[in-house]
Amino acid sequence: MTISLLKHALIFFALSGFSVNCANAQKINLSTDKAVLAELQKKADEMREAIGTTGNEKFDAAMKKPLDAKSVCIKRIKESEKIIVIGLKEFGDDSFSFHGAFVDSRFYYSDEKTLSKNALDALGWQKATQAQREKLAKLWVEKGLLAFYTVLYTEDVDFLKDFQSKSEVTYKGGKPPSPPEFHPPQVVSNEGGETVVTLWTSVMKTKKEFEHHQFRFVADASLLKD
């Protein structure tokens, strides 16, 4: 009886997994940007359908408005055709922000915990040596997670100037911290089995500003924290 129950339970479990992923099991042809846009539109339409209409004419019209190709940026990673990175324009911004990525034709939003793991798996993480994993992690950070930033490979002439002007404001009267040291993108593997990518990016606002980023991937390729 217990064995029979276990059998049923295993079938139930297998079906559960299938039902959760069945929508993604179908391979969609995303070889053209038009197809990617159409798939994004489909996802947006599904959401809009779930929201429904409100009777407010302007709101309903805004909800029906199709995705504007100009507000979407599609970036393909040449190292893997399985990954397509999507950027969207945020309110009041002319540049793009990371919205998510298609991995193996399934779309993951930027804040989905499994995004990085699936992307790195698609890049070959599971069979890679630690040295190869370091390269894959760097690739995914530069071309995926930070695809809409300018990653710095050499020190920018304004790098220290930006820090000095900021520290004058923040630490007026106190002892300013030591200026940061520029480094090109770096990857290290630590004793805990983590692969850590650190790098600097720049962004042009009223003037050039710089930001330091750190991404930690655990052994199974999941992103711990940025």
Partner 1 sequence: MKRNFITTLNGKIIYSLLLGIFTTLIWTNSAYSQTEKEIIKIRAEVAAINKGGAKYTKTKKDVEGISLEGAEATYFYSGSDLKKITTKMYGETYKATGEFYYENGELIFAFKKHHQYDTQIGVGNPPKVVRSEEQRFYFANGKLIRLLVGKKELKSSDERYAELKDDIVDDSSKIKGSF
Tell me which residues touch partner 1 (CB under 8 A).
1-2, 5-6, 9, 12-13, 16-17, 20, 44, 47-48, 50-51, 56, 58-59, 61-63, 65, 90-93, 95, 97-98, 109-113, 148-149, 165-166, 168-169, 203, 205-207, 209, 211
Q: Which is nearer to partner 1, 109 or 130 (CB)?
A: 109
CB of 42 to partner 1, least distance (A): 13
Minimum Å gap between C-beta 181 and partner 1 is 20
> What's the min distance (Å) between Cβ of 47 and partner 1?
5
The distance of closest approach from Cβ of residue 72 to partner 1 in the complex, given in angstroms and rounded to an integer, is 14
Candidates 142, 144, 49; CA nearest to 99 is: 144
CA gap 214, 177 in Å, rounded: 20
Q: Which is nearer to partner 1, 158 or 194 (CB)?
A: 158
Contact yes or no for 187/134 (Cβ under 8 A): yes
> Exposure of 154 by Cβ count < 10 A (0-12 exposed, 13-18 middle, 19+ buried)?
exposed
Residue 69 vs 203, nearer CB to partner 1: 203
Distance CA 126, CA 211 (A): 31
4 vs 178, beta carbon nearer partner 1: 4
| Nearer to partner 1 among residue 9 and residue 38 (C-beta) | 9
Q: Of 166 and 183, which CB lies nearer to partner 1 in the complex structure?
A: 166
- CA 221 – CA 126 distance, rounded (Å): 8
Q: Closest distance between partner 1 and the C-beta of residue 61, in Å?
A: 7
Q: From the CB of 35, what's the least distance to partner 1, in Å?
A: 21
Task: Give CA separation, 222 vs 25, 121, 207, 218, 225, in Å.
Answer: 21, 10, 35, 6, 9
